[in-house]
A and B are shown apart, each in its own frame.
Chain A
Amino acid sequence: MRRLPVSFSTAVGFLIVAVYLFPIYWMVTGSIKSQDDLFASPPQLIPIHPQFSTWSQEILHKPEVLEYIRNTFIVATGTMVLALVLAAPAAYALANFHMRGKSLIMLFCLSSLMLPAIMLATPLFVIFSRVHLTNSLLGLILADTTLALPYAIVLLRPTFASIPKDLAEAAQIDGSSSFGAFVRIVLPLARPGLATVGVLSFLWGWGDLVFALTLTSDESKRVVTTGLANFFGAFATDWAGAMAFCSLAMLPPLLVFVFAQRQVIAGLTTGGTKG
């Protein structure tokens, strides 16, 4: 299988990735081009006159944009924490204890993976309106967690099953309760799986549009996805501004990805789809 010369494969491999990721490059460079350069023909592949006025006008001097980022950060982090706190004990029990209805719960989680967010949006809007959870970041966290949980359980169960049972049992003989043994002995060993679930729940919470669109309408509760959806007025097309906003909205998930690629890949190969 190693007949092609190494350097040739590398060159082709690089070229394909470059073509594939070109839209993202085009977005970032678009945010530092002037209006004329944006529409230059033939297209300007490398920004010749880079300028940062779009960034300072559209992003840095708009307090609402920074508020969107802050709100999104709260929602994504909240989703991550809540999903981990709820899913970890459940996945541990489903992996290690004898109990009735175990396979039913797993089947339920597996089939919930397929549930589209839009499917829950209408009924959640009704329910949340009754309990005053619309227009609230907490409501968004709860909604996002609902779809993160089944996935978290499916992913964490094999992680906990792979940790030797005698470790927790030994701790229990030494006087810990089963919950204490779980927290002190098992959880630290399950870190890789927990990291995967944490990263994917964060990315999901960061990118959700459907719940943000349906469950919030106040400007003060807007997140980056709804901010971007509302970016353009009726006919104005400030593409440089839109690309700056896009670049900013992309930055946190991109950083998460750079530092946690392994977790993202592990999550993707265990059935993680988005939305």
Chain B
Amino acid sequence: MWERTRRGGERRSVAVRLRRARSAAVPYLFVAPVLLFLGALLIYPVVLNIIMSFQDRQLGNLISGPAKWVGTRNYDAIFHDPVFKSAVVHSVLYTVISVAIQLVIALMLALFYSRHFRGARLFRSLFLVSYAIPIVVSAQVFKWLLDGRGMVNSVLQSLHLQDQPQYWLADTRLALGAVIAVQLWLGIPFTMVNLLAGLSTIPDELHEAAAIDGANAWRRFWDITWPLLRPTAAAATILSLIFAFKNFDLIWIATKGGPGNATTTLPTLAYQTAFEQFLFGRGAAILNLIFAACFVLALGYIFSLRREERVA
């Protein structure tokens, strides 16, 4: 009799231990598929890119075959390439100018549409239509609007603001400005919807109290709205910088980096180097520099999130 109970007890404790071990493993089983997937298709590619950037990889030895190690020669070649230098300048101008103007316009729009009036809610969400449709579609439409015979020219000519049509996307002096304007159009809804979300967390009573104390709208904005909105604006700005910096689709459809190299940015240069000149090692080196820039911006984003949490 007693033997049986003891055995039963032992069995039970083994079962308990097994169950404990199993339940300790459970969280990892939930996470394992994602980690395997991202390990194979995200981490490994990033590592492979770093390796390839130190190799001489061209079409012949891309998939298999020996690749010669060339040290930092790919990076040296990039840094001595005038096209790379202009791509860096274009990328910085493109990103900074479009996001700066975008922030101002989106802020004005958010302040306007955050008030309560008939239709405000509908109008707010209509802005997001441009976010839902593919960038390729928007780029193609703007290509037509900015064409020599396009709408922008015919309007400017009917208003006698210019006598000759301008080739906005085909003129080396105008093309970068034109794609910056389109990037601006693409980025506005994202910043605006985030600022609107930030504004909705600011209680109306604060404004009412300040208004009773005699503060005008300008003062109320700088003393109440802006300090409370700043963390949201910071996070949205960093995300917009990244969004603009890595935008390949718009420039590729609108200009392919041209005319000449007038609108070549780092992403289009990387693509052309790897997939048109088939210099995969050098393309990988450019991508790593893009990666480094995005990583710095990502750290900025995570830092601003932390700050936002602390403030809130």
Contacts and interface: CB of A to CB of B under 8 A. Distances in A.
Interface of A: 1-2, 4, 6-7, 9-10, 12-14, 16-17, 20-21, 23-24, 26-27, 30, 39, 41-43, 86-87, 89-90, 92-94, 97-99, 105, 107-108, 110-124, 126-127, 129-130, 142-143, 145-146, 149-150, 153, 178-179, 182, 203, 206-207, 209-210, 213-214, 224-225, 228-229, 231, 237, 239, 242-243, 246, 249-250, 253-254, 256-257, 261, 264-265, 268-269, 271, 273-275
A235 to B, nearest CB: 13
B118 A6 contact: yes
A231 B185 CA distance: 23
Interface string B147-165: 1010100110110000000
Contact of A228 (B31, B137, B245): B137
B42 interface: yes
Interface string B251-281: 0110000000000000100110011000010
Given A43-B155, A274-B243, A129 B31 contact: no
B21 interface: no
Contact of B41 (A122, A142, A261): A142
Contact of A114 (B38, B49, B252, B297): B297
Interface string B216-238: 00000000000000000001000
Quick one: which of B123, B125, B154 has the most chain A CB within 10 A? Answer: B123
Interface stretch (B9-17, B68-76, B288-296): B288-296
B127 A17 contact: yes
B88 interface: no
Nearest to B23: A178
A150 B41 CA distance: 12
B253 A229 contact: yes
A231 B118 CA distance: 42
Interface string B44-63: 11101100100000000011
Give the 4 A-B CB pairs with smallest separation, nearest first: A207-B134, A116-B246, A93-B30, A123-B45
Contacts of B157: 41
A63 B190 CA distance: 36
A90 B31 contact: yes
Given A42-B158, A86-B34, A116-B294, 9 more contacts: A89-B31, A116-B245, A118-B248, A119-B290, A142-B41, A146-B42, A149-B38, A250-B137, A274-B135
B117 A10 contact: yes
Nearest to A94: B31
A265 B132 CA distance: 10
Nearest to A127: B45
Nearest to A239: B144
B272 to A, nearest CB: 11
A23 B115 contact: no
A108 B37 CA distance: 14
A87 B270 CA distance: 30
Contacts of B113: 13
A99 B27 contact: yes
Contacts of B38: 108, 112, 146, 149-150
A14 B119 contact: yes
Contact of A90 (B34, B109, B133, B151): B34
B141 A249 contact: no
Given A113-B298, A229-B252, A268-B190, A120 B42 contact: yes
A116 B248 contact: yes
B193 A225 contact: no
Contacts of A113: 298, 301
Quick one: which of A108, A112, A123, A265 has the most chain B CB within 10 A? Answer: A123
Contacts of A229: 136, 252-253
Nearest to A42: B158
7 contacts: A26-B141, A43-B158, A122-B280, A178-B23, A213-B271, A228-B137, A229-B252
Contact of B243 (A41, A117, A149, A275): A275
A7 B115 CA distance: 13
A4 B28 CA distance: 57
B134 A24 contact: no
A118 B37 contact: no
A237 B140 CA distance: 12
B123 A14 contact: yes
B252 to A, nearest CB: 7
Contact of A250 (B37, B134, B284): B134
A275 B46 CA distance: 17
B5 interface: no
A231 B144 CA distance: 13
B120 interface: yes
B215 interface: no
B130 interface: yes
B301 A243 contact: no
A99 B136 contact: no
Contacts of B213: none
B117 A6 contact: yes
